[in-house]
Structure 1
Amino acid sequence: MRVSFVSDSDGWGGAEVWLTHHLRRAAGNGATASLVCAEPVAGGFTGLAVDRAVVPLTRHTAAAPATRDALAAQRPDVVVVNLVDPASNTAAVAAALDVAPTVGVLHLVGDTRTGEERAALAALYRRLAGAVSPSAQGREQLLADLGLDPARVHVVPNGVDVPDDPAGPAGHAVPRIGAFGRLTAQKGFDVLLAALRRLDVPFEAVVGGTGRDGERLRAAAEGLPVTFPGWVTDVRGFLAGLDLFVLSSRVEALPLVLLEAMAEGLPCVSTDVGDVRRAVGEDAVVVPVEDAGALAAALRGLLTDPAARALLGARARARAERDLGADLMARRTFAVLSGVAARRSGTAGP
C-alpha cells in the first residue's frame, strides 16, 4: 500500500509530530510512505527516510496545483491530508482528491463556516474516502456539521513514543512546574499565570514555546518565579527538569505534549479539553477549562504533597505504557487506510 501524507501548515506543532510518528512506522504496518509538505514545516521532516516533495503553503488559498502535481508523481493508493482545522486546508484536500482516495485527519475542531460556505465545505468533505480524529468531539463535528458517513469517520486516540528510561519527577527542593506550546490564546497560558498568582506555596515555573502572545505573557508573569526559555527543541530534556507538568489549553483534541509528559512519569494537571478525561481517566488531575481557581487548587495539592506527586507520576507512566503509545496509534491509523485501499481495489477490508 502506497500512502502519501500531506502537511499543509504554516508552523510546526502536534499535527506534524503526529505525522512524523506515522511516517516512521509505515513500513512496519505494511505501507510505503511518502510526504508532500509545505515550505514552512519542511525542515522538521529532514532526515526521515521517505520520498519528500516540498511545495508552497496553500492553507487559506483556493487551489494547490503544486500539491496535486507532487502527489500525482508519488502515485499513491491513498492520500492522508493533515487538517489544521476543518476549513483552512480545502485546497490541499481538493488536490488530493484529484489524485487518489483521500483520508482527512482532523486534529482540532474549529469553524465550519455557515450558509453557502458550509455547504461547499460539506460537499468537499463528503468526497473523502474516510476521516480520522483523535477525539470524539472532532468526529462529532465532522458528522453534525459536514454530514460525513458515520461508518467512515474514526476516532484514533493520539499516541507518543514511550521511552524505556522515563525521567520521572526531577526532585527539586522547590518543585518546578512546566508547560510548553505555542504562546497563543488557545494554549491558555494566561490562565496558568493567573493560577500561579494564587499559589501561596513555594514553586518555580517554566513555560517553553514561542508565539504571538509571548510579550504579553512575559508581562503578565512579572514578579512570579516564571521563566520563558523559548522554543523547546529537546522535549525529553525539558520534561526531565520538571516535577509537575501542566496543560492549560482552552481547545485541544488529545494533546501529544500531555501524553509525552505522562510517558516520562510526570504527575500532570490538565484542563478538560477534547478527549483528555476519556483517555487519561484518573491518571492525571483534570480541571475545568479557563478556571484559574480550580487549576491553582490542583497545583497546590500536588506541590504540598510529594507522595501524591510520585504516585500520580507512576500511574501516568503505567497509563502511557498501556494505552498511549505511538505504535498502537499507528496500527489503528494504518488499519483505516488499509480499508480505504481495499475498497478502491475491490477487495474485502474494514
Structure 2
Amino acid sequence: MTRVRHVAFVIDSDAYGGAAAHTGLLARHLPGDARRTIVASEPVAALVRDAVGRAAEVITVPLTRGRETAPALLHTLRALAPDVVHVNLIDPGSNTAALATATRVAPTVATLHMTGALPVTLAGAYRDVAFATAPSVEVAAQLRLLLPGQRVVRVRSGVDLPPCPVPTRDEHPVVIGAVGRLTPRKGFDVLLEAVARMMAGSGPPFRVAIAGAGREAENLAREARYLPVTFFGHIRDVPALLRGVDVFCLPSRHESLSLALLEAMAHGLPCVTTPVGDTVSEVRRAALVVPPDDPPALAAALHRLCSDPGLRLELGLRARDRAVEAFDARRMAAETAALLRHAASSRRPSPARRARRAARRPGQPDRPDTSTGRA
C-alpha cells in the first residue's frame, strides 16, 4: 500500500468546535511520520495552531463554507501538493465547495459530523470522495444516501485520555461544568432553566462553570444574571477546567456524539446528558440521561448528583472505564490513517484532469491513471 508522505487537513468552519478539535486530535495522533498541514480560516486557524503545537503546520485561507467556489483553498492545496486530503464537514451541504476543491487536487477522505438537509444536487459534490467517515450510526446512514456503502466507514470519535481521572471531591459548593459552542442545539438555555429550578428548591450549594463561545453568548449571560453561573468563553486548556469540576452536563438538542462529553468521561466525571445521536448506545450506563428540552428532569438529575457523592464516584468510574475502552484518540487516528492510505493508493485523476487529458487526445478513450501520487 502507498506510503503517505503528506496529509492536508481542511477545516471549513467559522468557529472552533467539534470539527476543529477532531482535526487537531487526528493531526497529533496520526501514526507514522507523514507531514501534516492544516488549512483553516480565522479565528479557527489560530486556535488550532495552539492546540496542535508542532504536530502540524497551520495555513490560513478565507472561509469557504456556504460558498460555491474556493479559489484560495484551491491555490493553497495545489501548492501543498499533498498525497491525500482530509476534509471535516460540519453538515452535508454547507462545505461542498471545500469538498469539491479538495477532490480536484488529491484523493479525499471526508468526515461528516452532523446530519442535515440533502438537496438533489449534493450527490455530485460527493461523487469523487474516496471515503467518508461518520462518528455515529445516524450520520453514516445519511452518508449512504450520497455514497456507495463500501465508501462509508463509521469511525467512533476519540479523545485524549489523561493518565489519572479527576479525584472525587466532598467539598461544597459542587461545581457543575459544561463545555461547548453557545448555540441553540447545545441546550445551555435548558441548563440555565434547570439551575433556576435548583436555586428555588433545597439542596447542597453548587455553582456552574460554562466554557465556550458562540452567537448565544449574550442571551445566555442575560438569562444567567442572577444565577450562580460563570461563563469563561473559549478556553484553551479544557482539561484544567475539568479538573475543577464535580459533575459534567451537556443537555444537547441535537448531536451525533459530543467530543466534550467524551472528554469529560475520559476525566472520570459523572455526566448528565440527553439521548441524542449515538449517545445512549455509546455512553451506556456511564451517565444519567434525561430528555432534551426538559428543565425539570435535568434539574432533578443534577440535584441527585450534587446530593450524592457516592453516585458521583460510581458514575465517574464507569465513565472513565468506558472512555478507556472505546474513546481513545489514538484508535480513532489509526482507523482514519488506514483510510487515508487506502485513498492515496487508489489515486485516480480528478474530473478536471480527465477532461484535460481527453481534450489533448481527441477521439481517443481516456486511459486509466496508474499513478500513485508522490509515494
Q: If the length of structure 2 is used for normalisation, what is the TM-score?
A: 0.85
Equivalent residue number for residue 115 of structure 1: none
Counterpart contact for 1:78–1:340, Cα < 8 Å: yes
Is it true that 1:3 corresponds to 2:7 in the alignment? yes
Moved more, 306-315 or 43-52: 43-52
2:78 paired residue among 72, 81, 90:
72
1:60-99 correspondence runs (5 A): 60-99=66-105
Looking at structure 2, the residues matched to 228 and 190 of structure 1 have their Cα atoms a distance apart, in angstroms, of 13
Tell me which residue corresponds to 1:204: 207
Matched, 1:133 2:124: no
In structure 1, C-alpha distance between the alignment counterparts of 2:95 and 2:139, rounded to whole Å: 16
AA in 1 matched with 2:160? D
CA shift in 2, pair 1:326/1:49, >3 Å:
closer
> Which residue pairs with 1:56 in the alignment?
62
Residues 184-224 of structure 1: CA deviation (Å, up to 9, x unaligned): 21110111112222222232212222222222212222332
SS at match of 2:8: strand
Whether the 8 Å contact between 2:170 and 2:309 is mirrored in structure 1 is: no
1:249 maps to amino acid: S
What displacement does 1:170 show? 4.1
Q: Is the 8 A contact 2:183 2:215 kept in 1?
A: yes
Equivalent position amino acid for 1:131 in 2: A
The 3-state SS of whatever aligns with 1:98 is helix
Secondary structure of the structure 1 residue equivalent to 2:343:
helix
In structure 2, the partner of 1:195 is 194
**1:235 counterpart residue number:** 238
Residue type at the aligned position of 1:125: Y
Which position in structure 1 is the counterpart of 2:221?
218
What SS does the corresponding residue of 1:164 show, helix, strand or coil? coil
Distance 2:130 2:101 in 1: 14
1:1-350 residue pairs with structure 2 within 5 A? 1=4, 2-26=6-30, 28-29=31-32, 31-46=34-49, 47-112=53-118, 118-144=119-145, 147-199=146-198, 200=201, 201-202=203-204, 203-344=206-347
**Over residues 316-342 of structure 1, what are the superposed CA-to-partner deviations in whole Å (9 max), with x where a residue is unaligned?**
111111211101111111122222223
Distance (whole Å) between structure 2 residues aligned to residue 251 and residue 98 of structure 1: 33
Question: Structure 1: which 4+ aligned runs deviate by more than 6 Å?
Answer: none
Q: Unaligned regions of 5+ residues in structure 2, if any?
A: 349-369
**Residues of 1 paired with 2:258 and 2:329: CA distance?**
13
Whether the 8 Å contact between 2:13 and 2:63 is mirrored in structure 1 is: yes
What are the ranges of 5 or more consecutive residues in structure 1 without an aligned counterpart? 113-117
Higher mean C-alpha deviation, range 210-219 or range 126-135:
210-219
Cα RMSD between the aligned structures?
1.9
Larger Cα-atom Rg: 2
Q: How far did residue 171 of structure 1 move?
A: 3.5
Cα deviation for residue 30 of structure 1 reads 6.0
Change (3 A) 1:110 1:170: farther
- Whether the aligned pair in 1 keeps the contact of 2:36 and 2:55 (CA below 8 Å) is no
Find the residue that maps to 1:253 and give its secondary structure: coil
Mapped to 1, the partners of 2:309 and 2:165 lie a distance apart of: 18
- CA-to-partner distance for each residue in 1:269-323, whole Å, 9 max, x for gaps? 1111221112111011122222222222221221221101111111111111121
Distance 1:140 1:280 in 2: 20
Q: How many residues align?
A: 339
Moved more, 15-24 or 195-204: 195-204
**Separation in structure 2 between the aligned mates of residue 77 and residue 234 of structure 1, nearest angstrom:** 32
Does the CA-based 8 Å contact 1:64-1:91 persist in structure 2? yes
The structural deviation recorded for 1:62 is: 1.4
Counterparts in 2 of 1:154 and 1:222: CA distance versus 1, 3 Å: same
Residue-by-residue CA offset, 1:35-78 (whole Å, 9 max, x unaligned) = 22223311123233434432111111111112112112222222
When residues 295 and 73 of structure 1 are mapped into structure 2, their CA distance, relative to the original with a 3 A threshold, is: same
TM-score, normalisation: structure 1? 0.91
Structure 1 stretch 158-167 or stretch 193-202: which is displaced more? Answer: 193-202
Residues of 1 paired with 2:314 and 2:330: CA distance?
Answer: 26
Q: Whole-Å Cα distance in 2 between the matches of residues 155 and 24 of structure 1? A: 20
2:7 aligned partner, one-letter code = V
- Distance in 2, matches of 1:265 and 1:256, equals 14
User: Could you tell me how far apart the structure 2 residues matched to 1:238 and 1:343 are?
Assistant: 44
Q: Is the 8 A contact 1:169 1:242 kept in 2?
A: no
Residue aligned with 2:190, SS: helix
